[in-house]
Amino acid sequence: MFSCLVLLCLLTTLSDGDQLTDLLIQARDALEEGRHKEAVTLYEDSLEIALYGGDGDPTPGPLLARIRLGLAESFRAIRNNDEALRITEQIFESDPGSETLNRALEIRYEIGVSYLNGATRRLLGLEVSAERKGLDVLSELVERYPFQPFSDDAIYHCANWYLKNKLSKDAQRLFERLLREYPGSSWAAPSQILIGDALLAQVKGVEYDMGPLSEAERHYRRYLRLFPNQGDGQRARNALQEIKILKAKRRLLVAEFYIRIEKFESARIYLEKIILDVPSSEQAVRARQILAEIFPQDVGGS
């Protein structure tokens, strides 16, 4: 919640007994005491007077921003998040000062994460999913106001949402951005392994482009090298083993192709590589069988 001291300092610029001053004190008290709906009404009345009801000098910009911040806080407290977002946009368009601006950004971040994690919105009287709205709020926040204390967190949440929703290329892009722009983030370790997951998810099958597979392998190995004491080490090792099996399947297909066109020595190279990399796998058993068939003179085919 924003600083009461700053608000009180701003109120001293108004005349004693001023109606706006009285309303703002009441609004502040209502918000702090948990009378949130009343606080909304009082802040809305205060804003109307500040904008349209004064006969003297215009209300200072920083005070207008503070009134709007109080209103946004009140809307947030009653879970009217869309209205809170609308009011924070008005704060950005005024002269908020750093403290007010930072708190307005935090409110947008909190709402974005809340939406992304399953909080709903009311549209036309119905409760509807707001995940896409949360994604938009966080993405815009990072683009317009990068390198805030919560920026790496926002990027991570968006990337993770993309990954869970099978948008692996978008997830990869954001995880890479987090590591590139926020290398000291607490999300660096999970992002490093999740980039591998995002790349692995892009492999449609061993018949298709296997380029992402080598990239995924590089990121899993990098995770094990940079974060040896993190909890996902075994998962990274399991993923590396899965990659070995996928590569073995691909090599088996290539070897079978060379056999069909009677390039047996070329096939041998791929089959022996399978046996070397995953000696206990089904693919290695098959590779040995094929070698025995095409090179019967080699005892054991290896």
Collapse the DSSP code of 34 into the 3-class scheme (helix H, G, I; strand E, B; otherwise coil) and give the result. Answer: coil
pLDDT of residue 78: 94
CB 76 within 8 A of CB 108: no
- Whole-angstrom Cα distance, residue 49 to residue 14? 13
Cβ atoms < 10 Å from Cβ of 128:
10
How many angstroms from the chain centroid is the CA of residue 111?
A: 14
Question: Tens digit of pLDDT for each residue in 254-266?
Answer: 999 999 999 999 9
Give the pair of three-digit tokens for residue 144: 């317009």
Domains of the chain: 1-145 (1.25.40.10), 150-231 (1.25.40.10), 248-302 (no CATH)
For residue 50, the 8-state DSSP code is: I
Q: Is the pLDDT of residue 14 over 50?
A: no
Give the pair of three-digit tokens for residue 138: 């966080």
pLDDT of residue 122: 67
- Whole-angstrom Cα distance, residue 102 to residue 140? 15
DSSP count for the chain of H helices, then E strands = 14, 2
pLDDT of residue 154: 96
User: What does the chain come to in residues?
Assistant: 302
pLDDT of residue 297: 78
Could you tell me the pTM of the whole model? 0.82
Average per-residue pLDDT for the chain? 88
